[in-house]
Amino acid sequence: MFAYLVGRIVSAIPILLLVAVFIFSLVNLTPGDPALLLAGDNATPAQVEQIRERLHLDEPLHTRFAIWAGNALQLDLGVSIYSGQPVTRLIAQRIEPTFVLAAVTLVITVLIAVPLGVIAAWKANTLIDRLIMGFAVLGFSVPVFVIGYLLAYVFSVTLKWFPVQGYSPLADGVFETLRSVTLPAIALALVFAALIARVTRAAMLEVLNENHIRTARAKGLPVPRILIVHALKNAGVPVVTVIGIGLTTLVGGVVVTESVFNIPGIGRLTVDAITRRDYPIVQGVILFFATLLIAINILVDMSYALFDPRVKG
């Protein structure tokens, strides 16, 4: 198991390097001069040149990448062009809302998707199965911002159960925090749950046709025990895999959802940085998310040992 973990970490290093090269190239090869944007319309050529030197924009591309990558290894992602604050500090200031929203979304998703997928597989080709799969198709088809606006109109504007926008930090109380992220979390979860429910159903259908499930039925074991203990555990690998893959969808959804509900998280920071062409923030945030997703994929691979004993070897 330890050797498997080391192998996965080593194999992730070149992937992260390629991601870093792609991020740096994508941002630095786009049209426009950040130095001109930062200096303003009334700046003199000398002032623009000073800004260009300070940002290393006068260096060759490979030299700028080496400087940026070396600083990134030391957790120095540069300084924001507009605010002048370190990018790592800006990310740290915004990390709580994003992680709370992602965590609540993940919990809601699993509580919705896995039971629906199990029930759909147990009641395959019945009206219940068709209704659940119809919900899954609908949830995966509707854009997350449309769901967000509908939820905000019904539960915030009309019923006034939840705040329309904003985020209450954990320092103000867990209840207020959960109340502020409930609607955006549900909007994200409905999209996320649709994918997981379909995969759970497909994996469960395959397991329910195996001999040990027929034996459990013949012994008269209770249906919940058959579905949860015998079937769901054996179907856990594809379900956990799609949860890990779906987190990439969740990251993209966080950017949109935080903008819709005005949540001051990393997604909102990314949108603001793109509109201002604050490329150190854009680079830092994308690299942060890429590293996070690689770490999540490694954790997902490690979780396979809970469902497949062969991974432990």
CATH of the domain at 148: 1.10.3720.10
Domain assignment present for residue 259? The answer is yes
In this structure, are residues 194 and 243 in contact, taking their beta carbons and an 8 Å threshold?
no
The answer to whether position 45 is within a domain reads: no
| Closest to 35 measured CA to CA, from 19, 47, 27 | 47
172 in a structural domain: yes
Predicted pLDDT of residue 265: 86
Q: Tell me: the pLDDT tens digits for 6-39?
A: 777 777 788 888 888 887 777 666 666 666 666 6
Structural domain containing residue 278: 94-312
- Quote the CA–CA distance of 296 and 134 in Å, as a whole number: 30
What pLDDT score does 1 carry?
61
| pTM of the model as a whole | 0.78
Q: Which of 277, 312, 303 is nearest to 34 (CA)?
A: 277
Q: What six digits make up the tokens of 1?
A: 């198991």
Residue 71 lies in a domain: no
Is residue 79, in this structure, part of any structural domain at all?
no
Give a yes or no: residue 89 inside a domain.
no
**For residue 152, how many other CB atoms are within 10 A of its CB?**
20
pLDDT given for residue 8 in this prediction: 72
Q: Which residues of the chain have pLDDT under 50?
A: none
pLDDT in tens, 187-226: 888 888 888 888 888 888 888 877 777 777 777 778 778 7
In contact, 265 and 254? CB cutoff 8 Å: yes
Domains in the chain, number: 1
